[in-house]
Structure 1
Amino acid sequence: MAQTTPRSARPRDAAATKRAILDSALVAFSRSGFDGTGTREIAGNAGVDPRLITRYFGSKEGLFTEVVAELFRTPLIGASGTNRTAARDSLTAESGDPDPMLLILRSAANPQAAEIMRERLETSSQRQLAERLPGDDATARAALLLSMCTGVRMFRNIIGDTAFTHADVDRLATYLERALDAVAAGDSEQDRTSPR
């Protein structure tokens, strides 16, 4: 009788599985918000069993918290003179891209999601940005900078304002960059430009 060799079990890579779930969730939550995204959808796009979301993240809320932590890990906007990329991204980001601003807009109606985002913003990217801004009211100005870019994305990606459809993105990015830089500079900008 021929001897059979036991089939080896398929190796499991927990880190890769967790990463696949997180990548899927980044896109899904940015596109559809907290309430519009289901764990089965996230798991399906990641190619995993939905029960693995509970195993690795505890719950949908736990997964959302991880997504928010990843998207808000670094400041989304910078000090004066460094905002060209932020301005252009606000005018070119597509609705399906992982985008922290769109995540905010599409998830804010859910009180729990809003609390998760507020806590993360205030303790990470907003705080880091405020620490880099000169002058008074740095924390409030950091929040203002974030809300400016969020507002542009709302009009462009969610409302679909047709003014953006055929506009010259480079020109608009220049205007937005100037506005962001003015807020980022604070009083120091006024001090440099006001007559002596």
Structure 2
Amino acid sequence: MTDESAAPDRPPRKRDSAATKLAILDAAREVFTRSGYDAAGLREIAGLAGVDPRLIGRYFGSKELLFTQVVADAYGNHLMMTPEANAEAARSLLTDPTQAHRDGMLLTLRSAPSERAAEIMRVSLERDFQQALADELEGPHAAARAALLVAICTGVQFMRNVLHNSALAEGDPEVLVDLLRTALDAVATAPSVPDAAE
């Protein structure tokens, strides 16, 4: 005779894999940004995410692959520094950054001493930002010009948002935007000099 008062069997609660993966990514971004690639530990990341460390391996495979995903997310919002877009790009670079922009720069600076992390960041920048920009530039030396534009963008962000350079932080915004737009246009516009290969 069955016990009618017994609680019915319940199916096991489903894990929310998307939420778990997102929690790991958020924790990894925080730890890599704070400590850099070499000093970041998977146990620390798992603890911050509130998950078993083994889940990092299940969802991402390794610390290196987890870092690769964090970098891809951090570098995912690019500026198109083409002649028709440079006024907007200059204004964006010279306005107050979001926390994500600051974190992306700190992630880069603190992880760059690691050769492997530097390679991961370089590949991500070249493949997902520099190449997309080069594809939009007309004329010769597009890859080199795109790399220079990325370097200008990075330098402005570093000087203004990390070092808090007073001339960039406190100068007349319209003057700064016009000066930076002119510099971006000079690189983005196809050069009039003959191609060196000719």
Q: What TM-score do you get using the length of structure 1 for normalisation?
A: 0.77
Q: 1:51 aligns to what?
A: 54
Q: Does 2:135 match 1:135?
A: no
Q: 2:127 aligns to what?
A: 123
Distance 1:58 1:181 in 2: 42
The Cα offsets for residues 72-127 of structure 1, whole Å up to 9 and x where unpaired, read as 45643332121344333333224554765554333222110111112222223211
Q: Does 2:92 match 1:89?
A: yes
Match of 1:13 among 9, 12, 16: 16
The Cα offsets for residues 51-75 of structure 1, whole Å up to 9 and x where unpaired, read as 3222211222111111223344564
Is the 8 Å Cα contact of residues 30 and 96 (structure 1) preserved in structure 2? Answer: no
Is the 8 Å Cα contact of residues 31 and 103 (structure 1) preserved in structure 2? Answer: yes
The Cα offsets for residues 26-51 of structure 1, whole Å up to 9 and x where unpaired, read as 45545654245443454444443333
Check 1:83–1:21 CA distance in 2 against 1; reply closer, same or farther (3 A cut).
farther
Is the 8 Å Cα contact of residues 102 and 161 (structure 2) preserved in structure 1? Answer: no
Shift of 1:3: 1.0
Q: 1:162 aligns to what?
A: 166
The Cα offsets for residues 117-172 of structure 1, whole Å up to 9 and x where unpaired, read as 12222223211211110111110111100111111122223333233343334432
* CA RMSD in angstroms, aligned pairs only: 2.9
Q: For 2:126, give the aligned amino acid.
A: E
SS where residue 187 of structure 1 aligns? coil
SS where residue 124 of structure 1 aligns? helix
Q: 1:183 aligns to what?
A: 187
Distance 2:75 2:8 in 1: 50
Q: What's the % identity of the aligned pairs?
A: 51
Q: What TM-score do you get using the length of structure 2 for normalisation?
A: 0.76
Q: 2:196 aligns to what?
A: none
Shift of 1:187: 1.7
Q: 2:117 aligns to what?
A: 113
Matches within 5 A, 1:138-157: 138-157=142-161
The unaligned stretches of length 5 or more in structure 1 are 191-196
Check 1:74–1:162 CA distance in 2 against 1; reply closer, same or farther (3 A cut).
closer
The unaligned stretches of length 5 or more in structure 2 are 194-198
Give the greater-gyration-radius structure (CA). 2
Q: For 1:156, give the aligned amino acid.
A: R
Count, aligned residues: 189
Deviates more, 1:76-85 or 1:99-108: 99-108
Check 1:94–1:171 CA distance in 2 against 1; reply closer, same or farther (3 A cut).
farther
Distance 2:9 2:98 in 1: 49
Q: For 1:79, give the aligned amino acid.
A: T
Distance 2:27 2:88 in 1: 25
